[in-house]
Amino acid sequence: MNLALDESLTGGPLRALENAFHAMLARSRAEPAPDCAERLDRLARLRAVVADNEERFRQAISADFGHRSAVETTIAETMLVFSEIRHATKQLKSWMAQQRVATTLQFLPARNRLIPQPLGVVGIIAPWNYPLQLTLASAIGAIAAGNRIIIKPSELVPHFSALLRETVAEKFDATEVLVTGVEDEIAKAFAHLPFDHLVFTGSTRVGRLVAEAAGRNLTPVTLELGGKSPAIIDASADLEEAAERIAYGKLLNAGQTCIAPDYVLVPEHSVQGFAEKVRAQMRRMFGTDPANRDYTSIISDRHYARLEGLVADAASRGARILQPAKADDPNWKAHRKFPPTLVVGATEAMAVMQEEIFGPVLPVLGMRDTTDAISFINKRDRPLALYWFGKDRAARDEVLARTVSGGVTINDCLFHFAQTNQPMGGVGASGTGAYHGEWGFKTFSKLKPVFYRSKFNRLADLYPPYGGRIARLEKMLRFMS
């Protein structure tokens, strides 16, 4: 089998990855369809990985960030993982059942069925920002669907990655679920392996490279990529309420969230007042002390410097910079915590409006009306999320009808992501494919159509030699069409 790997990539880690992949592939072909009991057992073992090591995961993730709020790790990672596993466990039997499909009239009394089958071996290229939840959410769907999994964690969270590798190895055979190392050789080679499905969560730039590599093997991909997710504050909105919810959605995980509101569109006469309300809410939630344990650090010095550059560029181009704390306090940088920042009067020429921010920096822009906001959004790549605040149902429905995004929350932020009965996924530059709950089960399954012919059907009339029978059958089929 041609792996289409870079010939320069050699050595122990890469060879071990190839061997592990082929061993898992062979097992998946020999045992292609684990029954419900085996899948439930794997889900239970995955839950035990997290439940037995919950505090260790919290500490490892915090060590990787420099500081990660323990509460945020609990509510945004471990609790969501437990919820996903509980939902999959409860619904698995019904998901696995054959589905009845109507039979075309002229073929009755035959019957049709859709039979879900595992794809085989699924590869997961995991992100760093929510390393536990975003790694295991897709793994849960893949396991429920009966697949075997290889996970490649992010090199930016080495403590977490090592712990996940250790704890998964304790609960799973290497041909069931395997966590790789984070060596450069593995990162470069992983997407080139001929997986039966590949999941990537990360930037649009890297997502393109992953899709290109997977395409060489015709490997289907699920990409969750992000982008600039807008929030619209309608003229009918309660500004105080919207400010509180925008502040929370933006500052969770210090803005290092793929569905965080990336910029806010506000009626022109309310821009300054709304920005002040958001700043007040940011101060109320997280105070002004960089040592606040509730406020999370930026993942690396490089990412911190990038955020500094975005704010400096905006200021040099005339934006007003609002911060609830003194940004010149050296303790911010010492803790690698970036002060919450609003960029008032941002323009399209500023770098902060040209790339995904992925940090606690929020541009606030004025709009004339709903049509103006829709036009502004539709000139850009389709976002992973969109948020609308207000009471005017006609304006809300106009935004829903005339914009396309991965998901929407009305009068709040983020919470569409936590709905296990709703799909999570992007569109266009923000991603492709979906997971969560049954959507994940279907993503990682082949729904195989099966036609069961009845002995009473007259299909033999279609066979040669053709004669009067075929003419009569054709006339009947035309009548029934």
C-alpha 178/C-alpha 193 separation (Å) is 15
Structure tokens at 150: 């290889």
Contact (Cβ atoms closer than 8 angstroms) between residue 264 and residue 230: yes
DSSP state at residue 381 = P
- pLDDT score at 3: 31
Distances (CA, A) of 405 to 205, 228, 230, 352, 443: 19, 11, 10, 20, 19
Answer yes or no: is 291 within a domain. yes
What is the tens place of the pLDDT at every residue in 236-279?
Answer: 999 999 999 999 999 999 999 999 999 999 999 999 999 999 99
Q: In this predicted structure, what is the pLDDT of residue 265?
A: 98
Same domain, 171 and 93: yes
**Is residue 68 domain-shared with residue 172, that is, in the same domain?**
yes
Q: How many domains does the chain have?
A: 2
* 15-66 confidence digits (pLDDT tens): 889 999 999 999 999 999 999 999 999 999 999 999 999 999 999 999 999 9
The pLDDT assigned to 481 comes to 65
Residue 362 sits in the same domain as residue 348: yes
Clarify whether residues 113 and 135 are in a common domain. yes
At 9, the pLDDT band (50, 70, 90 cuts) reads: very low
Per the domain annotation, does 115 fall within a domain? yes
Both 283 and 388 in one domain: the answer is: yes
Shared-domain flag, residues 218 and 263: no
Residues involved in catalysis: 224, 258
Whether 2 is in a domain gets the answer no
Q: Which amino acid makes up residue 226?
A: G
Cα 155-129-240 angle, rounded to 5 deg: 165
pLDDT for 12: 78
Give domain status of residue 473, yes or no: no
Does 194 lie in the same domain as 234? no
What lies within 8 Å, CB to CB, of 296 at 6+ separation is 65, 67, 68, 69, 72, 253, 254, 256, 337
CATH code (residue 124):
3.40.605.10
Whether 436 and 397 share a structural domain: no
Q: Is 349 exposed, middle or buried (0-12, 13-18, 19+ CB in 10 A)?
A: exposed
What is the band of 469 on the pLDDT scale with cuts at 50, 70, 90? confident
User: 177 is written with which tokens?
Assistant: 């679920």
Domain presence at residue 474: no
**Across the chain, what does the average pLDDT equal?**
93
In CATH, what number is assigned to the domain containing residue 237? Answer: 3.40.309.10
- Percentage of the chain with pLDDT > 70? 96
Q: Which domain holds residue 318?
A: 230-425
Judge if 284 and 338 occupy the same domain: yes
Residues 206 and 65 in one domain: yes
- Please say if the pLDDT value at position 292 is more than 90: yes
Q: 268 with 401, same domain?
A: yes
Q: Is residue 51 in some structural domain? A: yes
pLDDT reported for residue 313: 97
Angle at 430 between CA 395 and CA 351, to 5 degrees: 85
Residue 280 DSSP class: H
Looking at the predicted structure, is the pLDDT value of residue 158 above 60? yes
Which pLDDT score is estimated for 317? 96
Q: State the CB neighbour count (10 A cutoff) for residue 67.
A: 19
CA angle, 313 then 280 then 339, to 5° = 40
Three-state SS for 19?
helix
For the cut 70, the answer to whether the pLDDT of residue 215 exceeds it is yes
Q: Does one domain contain both 161 and 235?
A: no
Side chain identity at 50, as an amino acid letter?
Answer: V
What's the pLDDT score for residue 24? 97
Range of lowest pLDDT (10-14, 202-206, 412-416): 10-14
Task: Check pLDDT > 80 for residue 10.
Answer: no
